[in-house]
Amino acid sequence: MSEFKLLVTGCKGRMGQAVISAAAAQGVPVGAGIDVGDSLSDALSKCSCTIDFSSHHFTNELLTESLRLGKSLVIGTTGHTDEELAQIKEASKTIPVVFASNFSVGVNTLFWLTRKAAELLGPDFDLEVVEMHHRMKKDSPSGTARTLVEILADVRGLDYDTDCRHGRFGDVGARTPKEIGVHALRGGDVVGDHTVVFANVGERVELTHKASSRDTFAGGAVRAARWLADKPAGLYDMQDVLGLK
């Protein structure tokens, strides 16, 4: 295919519409858009790369068709099961995939700063992550919050499943030195707020990112799709796209 064209899934939804607008702003043609009930195969055959912000339940079908047709893929959905994550990793051995919990340049800067702060502040600081999203968000914690916790766990040599504490209720006892707390708030139309707290006796450091528009995520996803155009098979994230690694 001579001309690079995007396929936008969930094209009637809020993120789908934001991606279409972002593509137009960056001069990237949208070859097709699909929503519930539309043919993925027909649409994908006309396009070079898919940007998907629909649902992780659609991931398997999307991977299957992208592999069959040899198309690149940008995945922005969250809440994947371990099986779905394994499928993404396996598919990336054959096609180029950008898979990220957040496509905002600001959030990816937050990822970078979080790692640096954790390294500099050391083990004496307690670690907590707080996120807030709109009332319609289905998964918890957000994919971005999970990435932040995973970064902190990596620096500290901890494990997400073992050392992450999802909220606190009742007589849970004193905070342990190893745990990383993560707290999810839901309400209103909040696009996405994330704060990483480093708390020690006598001082506290907080890193915060607040998104006020979905356009920042959509623009980053289109940028990622453009970046993928000449890349070999592999599993990439926005840190790769932005040159932060």
Q: How far apart are CA 118 and CA 138, in angstroms?
A: 29
Residue 133 annotated as catalytic: yes
> Average of pLDDT values for 232-237?
97
Domains and CATH numbers, the chain: 6-99+214-242 (3.40.50.720), 105-211 (3.30.360.10)
Find out whether 38 is annotated in a ligand binding site.
no
pTM, full prediction: 0.79
77 annotated as ligand-binding: yes
What is the percent of the chain with per-residue pLDDT over 90, rounded to a whole number? Answer: 94
Catalytic: which of 5, 137, 178, 231? Answer: 137
Whether the per-residue pLDDT at 237 is higher than 80: the answer is: yes
Q: Which is catalytic among the residues 56, 133, 183, 194?
A: 133
Residue 102 is labelled as binding a ligand: yes
Q: What is the predicted pLDDT for the residue at 135? A: 95
Cα–chain-centroid distance for residue 226?
A: 17
- To the question of whether residue 164 is assigned a binding role by annotation, the answer is no
d(CA 94, CA 72): 10
